[in-house]
Amino acid sequence: MNTMEDSTNEIVINLLGTPDIGLLFLNLLVMAILPALGEELVFRGVVQPNLIKMVSNYHIAIWITAFIFSAIHMQFQGFLPRMVLGALLGYLSFWSKNLWFPIIAHFFNNAIQVVAFFIVKKNNLEIDLNNNFEFPIYILIISLILFLGIGWYFYRYFLQNTEVEIE
């Protein structure tokens, strides 16, 4: 399975491997805009609503959809983080009752990676995608607090502004 992931990483590196600004915009289209639109329309627009009807529990439907979302990417080293991302996008879609929120969030998730890789290449920095990069623990803690705080804000905001039944 690692050889498939390695070849996928190699393809991505080749697509992103230029510091050309014109190709940056093409990469944003191909790797951020189109996947955000396409995947969210399929997963949060079709799969998740149908699963909610089938299983009658939106939590289960969101997590099943997130599992499928992660599995379809065929990169198993990042399976759990991608599944959590899929669940977050699922809750965002469910709470907001609006596909644009998960589409925009998905776009930013992908676009940040494309732009970061562009900056690395533009500045001739070396980065090894196969080795784990360790963040200082305080960055992880701050990120977790911000993430949970923003999530709680959106949850409360959508709960107050939409008619969502909480099970």
| 73 and 146 belong to one structural domain | no
Co-location of 90 and 140 in the same domain:
no
Question: Are residues 8 and 75 in contact, defined by beta-carbon separation less than 8 angstroms?
Answer: yes
Q: Are residues 40 and 107 in the same domain?
A: yes
| Alpha carbons 142 and 104: distance in angstroms, whole number | 23
Q: What is the model's pLDDT at position 132?
A: 60
60 and 37 belong to one structural domain: yes
Whether 166 shows a pLDDT value over 50: the answer reads no
Q: Which two tokens stand for residue 67?
A: 């599992």
Same domain? For 64 and 146 the reply is no
State the total domains in the chain: 2
- pLDDT tens-digit readout, 103-144: 999 999 999 888 888 887 887 776 665 666 565 677 678 877
- How many CB atoms are closer than 10 A to CB 129? 12
Report residue 151's pLDDT band, with 50, 70 and 90 as the boundaries: confident
Are 153 and 74 within one domain?
Answer: no
Q: Do 68 and 107 reside in the same domain of the chain?
A: yes
Phi and psi of 166, rounded to 5°?
-95, 125
Specify the pLDDT at position 89. Answer: 95
Q: For residue 144, what pLDDT is reported?
A: 79
pLDDT digits (tens, 9 = 90+) for 25-70: 999 999 999 999 999 999 999 999 999 999 999 999 999 999 999 9
My answer on whether 47 and 78 are in the same domain is yes
Say which amino acid occupies 144: L
Residues 106 and 167 in one domain: no
Domain limits at 30?
A: 2-129
| Length in residues, the chain | 167
**Is this prediction's pTM over 0.75?**
yes
